[in-house]
Structure formats: structure tokens, C-alpha cells
Structure 1
């Protein structure tokens, strides 16, 4: 009987669907987050999405033909030899190249937009009982050869070098490649950026012709990225945090310029630092991309400028917070993992809010750090629930529950002059918010309420709960949501802003923040389904969700008319603390 090893057909079908659904302009930013505007257009002009690839393991040619037929693919058999993949497998599994019968097929696929693309199928023949079974099992598990590919439209060496540089600039890392004499084509492999939003972790640039001169530099960089070196870079991550924190603490960014370089001796005098030591710090920060060095000295990059106190969207407070109290408590991460106790509380003897409240300087820094990630809020004012409320003939009110210093509410009121606002917060935070919103000219349109979650006012049209629920365990989240549900009129909307864990396990800041919340706050990040369950317990329903910058998500919630009182499995308690919002 002809058989294929389990899983190959379903994997191939998934690849076919992916090729049909994607296009160049959509896929490139998913693989290279941050790529947009002119660079995206330039990249899309010089390369086009051509195929998705995977490695399958048929027992023989007849099994391969059957698999293709099951997936609606047509290709000429036998496959052509695949030099690059065969050599990669040989190195990875320490086998002789001659032992590996690897072929390549490129059946055509018509995409949803009418474009003609391919699925690139690498086939390693694994006869029944073969000792190659172990290779097949490992490759299915790790998916080393699965990738998406772009064909270079203009195979010019200068263009090719520019494409490779752009990929590197947006986080893609060299991951091998080779020249295939059978088809006279050169392949450049990259590891996708760590923040990539697709399941494929490898990217290929395919260039017709022999470009082994450019390939040599690409391969040299790949060889430099060995596991031990990578691990050393990861282990020195604490140095990065402290370098950025020291840079910020000394106010060096405020003494630098983004256009003009400055001499280290001059800079050291201005910030009261030792010149040689400051030079060492600046060179390290140059490696990180926060500083650039030229003939005139060091200057700030766009990244480093975010650490200036006067920068729009300044992240200076986060550098001081993450390099200060939270840096100290992260040393207790092992204690948290072992015992379940919050490391911050174990180190300082109290929760983070009580600790910060004892020191006005820390309390102010904490509130500032909450606003420092405000780029996440950029699209929130255009949410349909807010635009609909702003269009209401009789006017409408937005209630920001635990609204911090008013950063988000201020953005909403600025975008919608017909809306009014209510901000509920702790007394000292309310005063900071009042000052901020009055300075922005919104004071007459906003009421300020000092209180706790039990004081959520009724009668609003849109309620906002931003970066609050991740501070709490599930039971307290239910209590907070029940207070909100009781206040919500039937027509009102609730917008919950959080970092939501990706359902597919892809790289996300939410995963990092989940660790942070566990170690330092005692809270957690959650999947969308988890939030939906918490909403349901409070008599609410998740309507939809939309992505925000910095891996944020806005969850649109309304009252659930079919389940207005929740599931009733737990008796509501009282949460009387707005303090635990955490950056």
C-alpha cells in the first residue's frame, strides 16, 4: 500500500492556503515589523512573493504523486535534485550527502488576487524501515526548511546587497544559502525578525543567476552567528538594560543632538562623567543602535532620542523603572517560579504600589512610566465605538476607569471635540490627570472622580479599561468587570486595552510582559479566549478585537443580553484599589 508519513498532506494543504491568501505588500511587514512607507514600497518594487516551501517525506515517488493529488497540485515527476536543502540536511544531521535523496518540485498555485505563485515542495525519500525516519521526525518537529520566498525582480548585485541590508535592518538574520547549478539560481536564507507575525520563521530571497560573490558575505555573517555566540548575547541582556538606564540616569540623551555629533570630553563635562568610561558606554550603545559615531563625535539616533526627557512619546521613565526597581526584583525570578510568590514583594516586603507610594519620586516615576508606552494608544480614538459615540446628536460621555494621568482620555477628547469625559482614579493620580487635561484644554469637558472600582459611575456611553486587568488574578478581574457591567447602560460599549497572548505562540511583547507581570506584579497576560471567559462571567460579551501598536489589542465588549448576570459561579467581592496598573 502507498503511504505518506503522518502530517505531510495537512502541512502541504496549509502551505497552499497561505500562498493563495498572501501578497507581497501585506506579507513583507508581517515578516519585518516596522517596515512601511517608502522602504516598503521600494522593497516591493524589487522583489515579489513567489512561494511558500516545506519539506515532506514520501516513501517513494508514487506516494509523493498521491500527496500532490490530494492537495490539488500538479507537477512533473520526478523532482529535480535540491542541492541546497540536501547539504543543509547533511550538515544538520551529520549524514553523508549521498545518503539523502532530496528533490524539489514547484507546482503552480493561483492566488486569491489572481497572481500565479508556487508551493515549493522539497521531498526527502524515506523508504519504509529506513534509518532516515529519525531525520523526518526531527524535521517535522522543527520545520527548519519551511519558509516563504521572494524572487528578486532585478538581479543586479547592487540591488541584491541593498535588499539584504534592508532585511537585516528590520531584524532578519542571515541563515545560509547556496548556488544551485541545476537551475542557475542563487538562494539567500534569512531568519525572520523576532517580532514577525507569521508562522514561517525563515525567509528566502531567490535570485536568478550566479551571485556567489554577494552570497559569500551573506554566508560569512551566518557563520558568525553560532549558538554559543548567540547565547552569550542573550546572557548579557542585563548589560543592555543597565547601559540604557545609566545613559538615561546621567541625562546624556538630553545633552546630545540627533543631527550634530558631540565630542566626548565636552559631553562628559556637561553630564559630570569620566570621559573614558563615558566613551565605553557610548560605544556599547552604538552597537545597540541608540547612538551613532562619526568624525564629529557621537550623536543620538532616532531610537536613542526616545530617552530624552522632552521627546514626544519619551520612554525615559520606562528606562528608569526597568533599570531600577523592576531590575532589582527580576533577580528574584527564580524565587517566583519556584514558590509562586511575587519577587518584588519578596524583595521589598510589600507590593509595588505600596512601595512606590512611600516615595513621592518613585510614585511620580511610576505614573510617568504608565504614559511612556502611549504609542499603543494611537489608533484607539478612531475605534468605531468612539466615532459612533462622537456622532450622537445629544453628545456622549467616555468614562476612563483607572485612567492614570489622563493620557488616553486626553487623546480621545482631542480627537472628538463633541465628547465629554470622566476620569476615575486614586486621589493623587486624579490631580495629575486634572492638570494634564486642563493644560491640554480639555478641563471643561472632563469630570474627575477620586475613588476605586466600586465607584465606576453609571450613565456613560463608552467605558475604557486600559492596562488594568493584567494586574490581577482571574477572580479580581471578574470583580472589576462586574463593577463595570453594573455601571454600563444597555447601549454602552466597553473598550479593554491589553497585550493579548498570541493564540499561535508567535513572538509577541505580550509573552515578555507575562513574565514581567508574574515576577513583579502578581498579574498575568491572557489569551483572547481567556478574556472572553472573564467577560462572560461578568455578564459581558466580547464583540471583536483589533490590534494596536507595541503588540497591544483593544477588546470591544458589550453587555450580554442572553447572560446579563454572568454565569453566577462565583459571588462578587469588592475591589477597592485602582493602584495596580503596571507599565
Structure 2
């Protein structure tokens, strides 16, 4: 137990109490305890894997005495002997960035003292000391305790192992990269991580300290780290990013750079009919977005930028145009959707988005192209389906047929039925003809609210249909499918799934999009399970797909489905 004594001269009670709390934490924790507190979402196996390479090294606190010797005297009251002070490189830089001050005005020193951890191993208390600090710095840092952290030391690991440790912390561990640096005084690289969600532990940051200079890993880590103000400004300017990408797609910039890498801006401007000076400014922004990079006297596409080219196998060009067009306009009325719970698209354009896009051939073609591009994201889902004994696949509400065409192309023994509105079937014919499977696919006009779903299927598909509708409509759709399905038939539902926990995901953004622009919603697996149950169906399996999607396998509840003779 620590001893409560009066604070030595030169250090106030606040700072002394912070030092005391830090000493107490070290004496009551070990490596396992630190991992349990800081990364509770990792499994026991993950904790064991980290512990193979890391150990609890120190707990740190930042204090503001009037003289450095007061900190050493304070440590002595806990029977601790301070080491010689050293200058801090990393914390000094973090403070300077956070408070907009020159590093010269923040001469941070470090004092260390050995403290026994709960398992008997020797750890350290690391006290960052800033003497006579500017009052605004003292007030802000005491309010946030941003530099108080726990640290793990690694042994002489290679960069591959270090990258793996980072991936555990920032992935399932739900920590965020939060700066770092190289300390020449100690010849060590430090990587900081910040907690995103709630933690039982009062410490909000974790440091990983590695021997030697690790420039490649450090560079990656720093690229993922952002100052909060920088992060907020980047998020606030997200609309600029959307428009820049949409304009680049609409001008065909990616198509021209795909054909001629290194194309000079003057020639690119001439080909796109744009002002050269203005295009130069757009290209500079696209470099910052890592969509293009400089090449010879001009620019070339990155892997990300290549997805904006029309001829890319995974082109997202039409999605960029859609998100930068009508959906961009309607999202400006998001506040209306939040206040009323109704769709902003309908409010802005005066009609539902299905009616809006169906009203003109050009709009309909853009929407169908965007949906087809999204289908390409899924990859070869036909290989994930159980096609044993199956002969016919029915795609319910399958749009222009892109997904069904992919399934049929990957399974030559299957026939297909596309069940869609009559207005879409002409575009679907072109899709099946291009995929050379038109002879194996029947096109049936209708909709799942007023027309019986075809009953010939062994496999049924509902791809990105249910998220367009409220729960009552979803129940109607699922009951229509259930009525058409024989006892042995399977229904595959493809949707983005909301995460069941606080893990980071793309899906909450699309959930907001569905509220604002469509009137539907994204759901969790359990939510879809409940909807399926209301139709006499059950979710019996799930396969993860890219970008937050999943394919749920749904069947009649055992003993409750229609007989094959019905």
C-alpha cells in the first residue's frame, strides 16, 4: 500500500495524487490485467498471443511541478528511487501539436522509478515532467489526462510480428492508432493507441514500445493517427471528397489515365473539356485522396482510383455518380429525416427514389448500373451456395440481373428465373445476353406485393431487397417467398449486417443512408432472424462477404414448410 503524506515543496496535491494512483495501479496489475482492462474484446487466445511477445512495462503520468526535484522527492515518499532524468521526444511533440506551441517551449523530461507489479515482476512508473508549463496547457492536460497511459514492451520482434500486434490492437481490440515516434535517447520506437469505446480501466491510451528504429511500421501507424481537430475537419469536408470523386468519374478521368498512364494535365484537360488550372487543383486533391499519384509529367491511377474506370472488372464509377448526384442532393435534407423519421429523398424530390429513377431512362440506367457494380463486390457467391440437387434459381427483385447472371455463369448446370418489374426486364435481357446465359434464364414480370413469386425454384435469392423496406413490408416479402418455396428449397438473403457489438463497420453509414434516401434500414443478423421466423422460416447459416455484407441461408422451419406435393 502507498503512504499518504503531504506533498513535497514544488508539487501540488493534484499531481501527487496522480503519481500515487499510478503507483497503486502498477502494484495491483500484471500483463494479463492490463490486457483485460485495455483490450477486453480480444479473446483469451489473442491475449496469450500478445503476452508471448509483450509484457507490462510501465504506467505513465504527466505532472507540472515548479521544479524537477519535487518529483523525485515525491517518489521517495513511496519508497521509490528516481532514475536520472531524460528528455522526452514523443510526448513533447504531442503536446506541441495539441496546443499549437513550439516544442522549444515544452521541455518535457522523464523520470522513472522501478515498481513491483502484481505478479512480482519489475515495472516502472514513468513520470513526464513539464516545469513551469503555460497555464492553458496545465488546465487542458489535467482535464483530459491525455498523456496518462499504460505501456507494453516487446522483445526483439521483427516487423512482421510488430505489424500483427498492431492489427490485433486496432482490429478486434478496438483501439485507434494515436501517434508515436522514435526516441534516439532510448533507441526505441513507440506506438500509441487510444481507446474508442468504454473501458473499465481509467487509462485511455496504450503504448507499445519496441527496441530500435522501425520506420516502416511507424510510418504506417502515423498515417492512421490523426489529431482530433484534423479528424473532425476531414469528416466535415467529406462532402468535398464525394463531389471530387463524382466529378472525376463523370469526366472520365480514370478512363483516360487507365489508357494513358502519365497523361499530362494539359492534355487531360483538353480531352475532358475542362479548365487546365482548375483541373490541376482537382488532381492535386485526388493525390491527397490517394486516387491518383504523380507519374512522369502527369498522373497515374492508384488501385483505388482504378475502380473509377469504366472498364475495371470491379468498377464503382456509376456508384460515384449516383452518390455524387441525386443521393448527394437529398442527403442535404438529413436533418428533416432525423426530425421526422421520414425519407428525405421523398421530401426533396417529391417522390420515392424508385419512382424518381424509373421516370427517365438515363436515371434508370445509372441506378441499374450502380446496383450491378455493387453486385460485383460480392465475388463468386455462387460457390458459397449449396447447389446440391438444385436445378433452378429464382432471383426475387433482382434488378437488371447482374447477380443472377454471375450465379448462372459460375454454375452451368443451373437455370434461372428473374422476377422483376416489367420496366426493368428489357435491361435484364441485355445483361443475360452479354453473360451468354440468356437461354438458361426466364424473365417473369411482377412484384412481391401483388404477384405470386415463381414456385419452380430450388434456390431463391433476395439480394439487397429487404433493406429497402420497413419490417411489416419485409414480413410480407418473406411470406411471399415462403409460400413459393418447397420444403427443400433454400432462400439466400444478401444484406449488409449491423455489427452486434461496438466494432467498427461501414454499415451504420449505410443505415443512415437508407433512412435518408430510401425509407428502409440495415439490420443485424438477429433482426433478420426474427423477421424470417414471422414467415415460418429460420436462418440456418451465414457467410461473410466483402464490405460488411453477408449471405444468410434461410429455410422453412423443420416440419413447418409445405410438402413437395403442394
Q: Same fold (TM over 0.5)?
A: yes
Q: Deviations over 1:93-138 (max 9, x none)?
A: xxx9999999685979xxxxxxxxxx9999999xxxxxxxxx9999
Alignment match of 1:188 (pick from 188, 191, 203): 191
Distance 1:526 1:364 in 2: 28
Distance 1:102 1:215 in 2: 32
Matched, 1:482 2:479: yes
Distance 1:148 1:558 in 2: 49
Judging changes above 3 Å, is the alpha-carbon distance between structure 1 residues 402 and 549 closer, same or farther for their aligned structure 2 residues? same
Q: Deviations over 1:452-492 (max 9, x none)?
A: 11321113111110000100111100110000111111111
Unaligned runs of 5+ in 1: 28-47, 58-77, 109-118, 126-134, 195-200, 566-583
Q: Deviations over 1:509-541 (max 9, x none)?
A: 111100100101111001111111111111111
Quote the residue 1:42 is aligned against: none
Matches within 5 A, 1:168-207: 173=177, 175-176=179-180, 179=183, 185-189=188-192, 206-207=209-210
Matches within 5 A, 1:6-25: 12=36, 18=42, 20-22=44-46
Quote the residue 1:234 is aligned against: 235
Distance 1:303 1:120 in 2: 48
Aligned residues: 478
Quote the residue 1:458 is aligned against: 455
Quote the residue 1:271 is aligned against: 272
Conserved 8 A contact 1:151-1:205: no
Quote the residue 1:153 is aligned against: 157
Distance apart, 1:150 and its partner CA: 7.4
Judging changes above 3 Å, is the alpha-carbon distance between structure 1 residues 423 and 216 closer, same or farther for their aligned structure 2 residues? closer
User: Whose Rg is larger?
Assistant: 2
Conserved 8 A contact 1:19-1:51: no
Conserved 8 A contact 1:173-1:191: yes
Which stretch has the larger CA shift, 411-420 or 372-381?
372-381
Distance apart, 1:294 and its partner CA: 2.8
Alignment match of 2:422 (pick from 413, 427, 432): 427
Judging changes above 3 Å, is the alpha-carbon distance between structure 1 residues 219 and 451 closer, same or farther for their aligned structure 2 residues? closer
Matches within 5 A, 1:235-250: 235-250=236-251
Quote the residue 1:316 is aligned against: 317
Quote the residue 1:340 is aligned against: 341
Q: Deviations over 1:261-301 (max 9, x none)?
A: 01111111111111111111111111111111133212222
Judging changes above 3 Å, is the alpha-carbon distance between structure 1 residues 287 and 184 closer, same or farther for their aligned structure 2 residues? closer
Q: TM-score, normalised by structure 1?
A: 0.68
Unaligned runs of 5+ in 2: 3-23, 61-79, 99-107, 128-140, 198-203
The DSSP-based 3-state class of the residue aligned with 2:547 is: coil
Distance 1:147 1:461 in 2: 57
Judging changes above 3 Å, is the alpha-carbon distance between structure 1 residues 397 and 178 closer, same or farther for their aligned structure 2 residues? same
Quote the residue 2:285 is aligned against: 284
Conserved 8 A contact 1:175-1:191: no
Judging changes above 3 Å, is the alpha-carbon distance between structure 1 residues 101 and 208 closer, same or farther for their aligned structure 2 residues? closer
Distance apart, 1:223 and its partner CA: 12
Matched, 1:408 2:378: no
Quote the residue 1:208 is aligned against: 211
Q: TM-score, normalised by structure 2?
A: 0.70
Judging changes above 3 Å, is the alpha-carbon distance between structure 1 residues 219 and 240 closer, same or farther for their aligned structure 2 residues? closer
Distance 1:464 1:122 in 2: 59
Judging changes above 3 Å, is the alpha-carbon distance between structure 1 residues 136 and 259 closer, same or farther for their aligned structure 2 residues? same
Conserved 8 A contact 1:509-1:550: yes
Distance 2:126 2:508 in 1: 35
Quote the residue 1:494 is aligned against: 491
Distance 2:543 2:58 in 1: 34
The DSSP-based 3-state class of the residue aligned with 1:550 is: helix
Conserved 8 A contact 2:498-2:523: yes
The DSSP-based 3-state class of the residue aligned with 2:539 is: strand
Conserved 8 A contact 2:58-2:125: yes
Distance 1:176 1:282 in 2: 31
The DSSP-based 3-state class of the residue aligned with 2:53 is: strand
Distance 2:362 2:111 in 1: 67
Distance 1:312 1:408 in 2: 14
